[in-house]
Amino acid sequence: MASIPMSKRLTRDNLHGVWAAIATPWDESGRFDKAEFRENIRRLAAAGVHGIYTTDSDGEFYAIELDEFKQIVKVFADEAGRLGVPTMVGVTWVNTQGIIDRIQYAASVGILGTHVGRPFFMPMTPESDRAYWQDIQKATPEHFGLVHHNTARVHNTQNGHGYAELIKFVPQLIGSKNTSSDVREFMHVVTYAPQIAHLTGEGTVTPFMMLGAKGVNSWFVNFNPEFMLDWYDDAMNRRWNAAIQKQQRMYAFMEAKKMLAGSGNLHGIVSKATAAASPFLIESNVTRKPYLPVPKETVAQFRRVVEEKFQDLMWRG
Residue 120: what pLDDT? 85
Number of residues assigned to the chain: 317
Omega before residue 5 within 30° of 0, cis: no
Return d(Cα 169, Cα 88) in angstroms, integer. 22
Give strand pairing partners of 53: 21, 88
Residue 155: what pLDDT? 72
Residue 1: what pLDDT? 36
311 phi-psi bin (left φ>0, alpha ψ -120 to 50, beta other): alpha
Measured in whole angstroms, the distance separating CA 109 from the mean position of its chain's CA atoms is: 20
Dihedral (C-alpha) 10, 16, 17, 18: value to the nearest 10 degrees?
60
One digit per residue, pLDDT tens: the chain, 317 residues? 358 999 999 999 999 999 999 999 999 999 999 999 999 999 999 999 999 999 999 999 999 999 999 999 999 999 999 999 999 999 999 999 999 999 999 999 999 999 999 898 888 899 999 999 999 999 999 999 999 999 877 776 899 999 999 999 999 999 999 998 999 999 999 999 999 999 999 999 999 999 999 999 999 999 999 999 999 999 999 999 999 999 999 999 999 999 999 999 999 999 999 999 999 999 989 999 999 999 999 999 999 999 999 999 999 98
Measured in whole angstroms, the distance separating CA 85 from the mean position of its chain's CA atoms is: 15
Return d(Cα 22, Cα 272) in angstroms, integer. 9
Return d(Cα 239, Cα 241) in angstroms, integer. 6
How many C-beta atoms surround the C-beta of residue 132 within 10 A? 16
Residue 41: what pLDDT? 98
